[in-house]
Chain A
Amino acid sequence: MGVDPLLRVENLVTAFETDTGRIRAVDGVSFEIEPGETVCLVGESGSGKTVTSESITRLIATPPGEITAGTIWFDGRELTELAEAELRALRGDRIAHVFQNPQETLNPVYPVGRQIAETLRIHDSGGSRPINDQVIDLLDRVGIPEPTDRVDDYPHQLSGGMKQRVVIAMALAGQPDLLIADEPTTALDVTIQAQILRLLEELQEELGMAILFVTHDLGVVAEIADRVIVLYAGKVMERAAVHELFEKPAHPYTRALLACLPGRGGETAPIGGEIPPPADPPEGCRFHPRCPHAIGACRDGDQPPLGDVESGGTDHRASCVFYQSGYETDRLETPMGERTEPTGPEGER
């Protein structure tokens, strides 16, 4: 696989031109994805997680959206410099997407088999075997019973879970190296959610693809992620391996998010305040107006750079002044004393 990560996003800025001004929905986001691993982008609505995921293959609507800065390296190529046609060849073939709402992702006028065949057809990744057989194979692979009968079904004849399986089959048709799943389980009920997550894990093991999983649901994160990137208002707040994040959340925002989760012992505590207006984000740390630990240094300048949470080379970093040299992280523990050491078996996979 080589030393280079499969995907390396550096300082990505995606801005939208709106009536109220220019909105930097993604503002300097960096992360990597290694081949075969699952990275979760976590954040509230409006944190820029979907825009980040869609910027990778430039699926954002242009205009009004535009990638104004940053680089996206995928398998040795710089995606922001590729022409539309080159990107098109990549989409669905090397990088596939699964979207949130399976009811709407499938075109109601075609049988599902034909829609899966479409991806095969677009990328000419068919072959000597009849496409119909490959489609049935794919349906079988995503766990659809009696795939030979289901190929001719129209989307409305399938349940929500089945539809999402079909959507996943569509994404797998091109044998992608990277699957970008944007809240693929949000529209499904909990039992189906678990099935789909398990399916994704099985497929990942089988096919060795990397997954970029976008979600707001920390429960889902605990179940599927290898590494987690926490986004807030277009900035990366914290990045860590999944068990690190759940056991030792470093950034006050991550801690606040975890405190919102029920079933972790103690009261669930909503985060006070609101997400800052995207057109006019606060100076300094984006989270400081809602942060119980904010000090003067939080209010000035830019978002603090990602600092090592622990010395020792782990990839656990937080964008908080307290992790810059010269600050004591102990300060973070005082006002939230009851929850200093969140105990979370959720972190285990």
Chain B
Amino acid sequence: MAAERDPMTFDGVDWDRWEGGRGVGSVQLLEALAGLVLLGALCFDYVLVAPGEPTIAVGGAGGPGAEAAVVWDVSSVEWLFAGVLLLGLFHIAVPLAENRRMTAYYWRQFRKNGLAVVSLGYLGLLFLVGVVGPIIWVAPNETIDYASAYAPPLGLGGGLSSPEHALGTDAQGRHIWHLIVYGIRVSFEVGLIATALAISIGTVVGAVAAYVGGYVDEILMRYVDLQQTFPVFILLLLIIYLYGASLLLIILLYGVFGWEGIARLVRSEALQRSEQAYTRAAEAAGASRRWIVRRHIIPNVSSTVITAATLSIPVFILGEATLSFLGFGDPSTFSWGRTISAGRADLDSAWWISTIPGVFLFLTVLAFNFVGDALRDATDPRSES
């Protein structure tokens, strides 16, 4: 048989070229490069930039102490956010762009739900404003001006309102619009980072439990039961009470304690996939368990995962808003929940302080739910109601 092997005996694998032929290799390279740049920037921020100094100061004279036109001290949450966005870009946007036929199909299915399309547009716009807005508009605290406090939204308050603060001002004269814009970023950071965390843990746990089975399944799923029955919110309050409220901590806690539903969903789906012939074929081809979970089980439950992700984003956003409303939020952020809470006392005289962020919160949560429902219908026709 040795002679027969001849045409196929080669020296090393050239997988990159194989993938490169499909244009995947270059994308992977780009992703690695982007990740490295981000990591480099992170190191730069933490090692070279003195604490308290802004990371980026463009325009003006620049340098420490000087007045700059654009000042951005990137926080740890924002670094994490950038990382998650990068992941989303390379693992959702790029595959969609590469596989146009499938994208077109999903879009046709998705388009059937008009509300979801509007919601997607709204979320896209919100996201853009949330990311770009804080660069354009100054932080709310810089607009503190007690002279223009309690100015009603434009067109409602007669002489007090002005185009400068179209959505009115709060008790300290801060522009509601600025609070909203900065709140968008907080909400998206919470929603996306916590979801990315929860999805990663939940998917891996669910898929491993389903495929490996036996006592591994038993241990993992009993832990999931435990986490599900455990009052996580109380734990959150306790930890925040003990260690102080920082947005990063809140996000991490939500992410790390919010994946049990996803794990169950993924497990039930992955159980079916584990029985499929292609899983057995991969076993027969000598693939390891890790390989099968990663390359066969998880890709085949991805529609479930994407839907679950979209539907868990609003849950986390609401969770953070709730904490902030109760006064357990990060005092250095301008969360919608905090603004709503601050306006509570003035609800009689200045309803807009609480109401406007409330409407934004409501619409955002609703929009994510609409998009999630439409995604589920688009990716899995069985669940169409």
Contact = CB atoms under 8 A, between A and B. Distances in A.
A binds B: yes
B22 A152 contact: yes
B145 to A, nearest CB: 57
21 contacts: A35-B1, A92-B285, A92-B286, A97-B281, A99-B277, A101-B277, A104-B277, A106-B278, A117-B15, A118-B287, A121-B15, A122-B286, A126-B12, A126-B14, A127-B10, A127-B14, A130-B18, A131-B13, A131-B17, A132-B17, A208-B4
Contacts of B299: 107, 109-110
Interface in B278-314: 278, 280-288, 291, 295-296, 299-300, 302
Interface in A189-208: 206-208
Given A59-B280, A106-B278, A126 B285 contact: no
A123 B8 CA distance: 13
B21 A122 contact: no
B276 A91 contact: no
A170 B8 CA distance: 14
B11 A127 contact: yes
Contacts of A122: 285-287, 291
B284 A92 contact: yes
What secondary structure prevails in chain A residues at the interface with B? loop
Interface in B249-284: 276-278, 280-284
B101 to A, nearest CB: 10
Contacts of B288: 88
A270 interface: no
A312 interface: no
Contact of A119 (B1, B12, B286): B286
Given A109-B300, A208-B1, A93 B286 contact: yes
Nearest 10 pairs of A and B residues by beta carbon: A127-B10, A92-B285, A126-B13, A97-B284, A92-B286, A104-B277, A131-B18, A91-B286, A107-B278, A130-B17
Interface centre among B17, B280, B285, B295 (most CB of A within 10 A): B285
Contacts of B21: 130, 132
Given A177-B1, A208-B4, A129 B286 contact: no
A119 B286 CA distance: 8
B296 to A, nearest CB: 6
Interface in B1-54: 1, 4-5, 7-15, 17-18, 21-22
A291 interface: no
B65 interface: no
Contacts of A208: 1, 4
Given A101-B277, A117-B15, A122-B285, 9 more contacts: A63-B214, A97-B285, A107-B282, A119-B286, A121-B13, A125-B10, A126-B10, A127-B13, A208-B4
B324 to A, nearest CB: 40
A128 B282 CA distance: 24
A207 B1 CA distance: 7
A96 interface: yes
Contacts of B4: 175, 206-208
A131 B15 contact: yes
Contacts of B18: 117, 130-132, 135
A100 B276 CA distance: 12
A174 interface: yes
A59 B283 contact: yes
Contacts of B296: 107
B8 A175 contact: yes
Given A91-B285, A99-B277, A129 B13 contact: no
A124 interface: yes
B11 A128 contact: yes
A57 interface: yes
A105 B277 contact: yes
What secondary structure prevails in chain B residues at the interface with A? helix
A344 B299 CA distance: 51
Contacts of B278: 104-108
Size range of the chain B interface in the assembly: 35 or more
A118 B13 contact: no
A90 interface: yes
B195 to A, nearest CB: 22
B284 A127 contact: no
Interface string A80-93: 00000000111111
Given A97-B284, A177-B1, A128 B277 contact: no
Contacts of A209: 1
A97 B279 CA distance: 12
Contacts of A121: 13, 15
A59 B284 contact: yes
A120 interface: yes
Given A118-B295, A207-B4, A96 B13 contact: no
Contacts of B15: 117, 121, 126, 131
A126 B14 CA distance: 7
A30 interface: no
A134 interface: yes
A108 B281 CA distance: 13
A7 interface: no
Contacts of B1: 35, 177, 207-209
B335 to A, nearest CB: 39
Interface centre among B9, B12, B14, B296 (most CB of A within 10 A): B14
A167 interface: yes
B286 A90 contact: yes
A207 to B, nearest CB: 5
A177 B280 CA distance: 20
A135 to B, nearest CB: 7
Interface centre among B5, B7, B12, B283 (most CB of A within 10 A): B283
Interface centre among B9, B287, B300 (most CB of A within 10 A): B287
Interface string B314-333: 00000000000000000000
B14 A128 contact: yes
A100 B8 CA distance: 27
A125 B5 CA distance: 11
Given A106-B278, A131-B14, A99 B284 contact: yes
A59 to B, nearest CB: 6
B187 to A, nearest CB: 32
Contacts of A97: 281, 284-285
A91 B4 CA distance: 19
Given A131-B18, A132-B18, A167 B281 contact: yes
A88 B286 contact: yes
Nearest to B5: A175
A152 B18 CA distance: 12
Interface centre among B8, B10, B21, B295 (most CB of A within 10 A): B8
A96 B284 contact: yes
